[in-house]
Amino acid sequence: MSAIAKVSRLGLVASLLAIGVLAPMRVIAADTPQTGTATFYSEKFQGKKTSSGEVYDGAGLTASHKTLPYGTKVKVTNLANNQSVVVTVNDRMAKSSKVVMEVSKHAAEELGFVKSGKAKVKLEVQQ
């Protein structure tokens, strides 16, 4: 990519950020826990490709997140019952999503929130 094309592309991104078309990504630091609501994948995604290219398997311990890189291991703790599980990020969530993470059905079972469909959780990136 030429220097002019790079500058033009950066100018476009800056303009879109300024008018609110794009939102800046909030990346959580590896040493900063994140809290919020988690949900789990619908069964309709079973066997479909995730944004990382992996095939979704509800029996696995995987998750989607807005900004964490694919392959990141995250300890998810259900704050209501203190149950935890470590999941691997292999999918990307919509930036507009109101939840902090969407986990596989197996992870939701381990965390004890399949019946309710959602839980208040703490996310901790594993080193």
- Assign residue 113 the CATH number of its domain: 2.40.40.10
Counting the structural domains of the chain, the total is 1
Q: pLDDT (tens digit, 9 = 90+) per residue, 35-88?
A: 999 999 878 778 889 888 998 888 999 999 999 999 999 999 999 999 999 999
pLDDT at 86: 98
Query: 70 vs 14, 40, 87, 90, 111, CA distance in Å?
Result: 26, 18, 11, 5, 21
- Most distant CA atoms of the chain, gap in Å: 55
Q: Which domain holds residue 35?
A: 28-125
Q: 3-7, 59-63, 90-94, 117-121: which range is least confident on average? A: 3-7
For residues 25 and 67, the answer to whether their CB atoms sit within 8 Å is yes
60 Cβ contact partners less than 8 Å away, ≥ 6 residues apart: 104, 106
Tell me if 11 is assigned to some domain. no
Higher pLDDT, 31 or 21: 31
Dig out the tokens for 78 from the structure.
């259900």
Q: What is the mean pLDDT of residues 14-24?
A: 52
